Amino acid sequence: MAKSSLGPIEDMANSVTELTDHFVDAGIKKIDKALGKGAAKENPALIAAYVRASSQSFDTIVRMAFEAQEAMDLDQLINDFEQEEK
């Protein structure tokens, strides 16, 4: 039986998992550095809050990037249209 592959969707899912792992690892390191070794393990809610804040910040950055790209594409379309009118 051949292994099923979702291609780009599976790749995106793997990337999201890796990014989440990165947020968790970074959260543990930062919490332990700020509050002492083992603080993150003793306070999993702090890790959850760190991951939530990190993912929200990432979402904001991605949305801003898409909006900027759309605006640049619109500017290019307007410029192209204006050039055709000349």
- Report pLDDT digits (tens) over 29-38: 999 999 999 9
Tokens, residue 9? 């969707």
Name the pLDDT band for 23 (thresholds 50, 70, 90). very high
Tell me, what's the pLDDT at 4?
54
Query: Of 35-44, 56-65, 76-85, which range is least confident?
Result: 76-85
Band of pLDDT at residue 1, cut at 50, 70 and 90:
very low
Residues 6+ away with beta carbon under 8 Å from 27: 40, 46, 47, 50, 51, 54
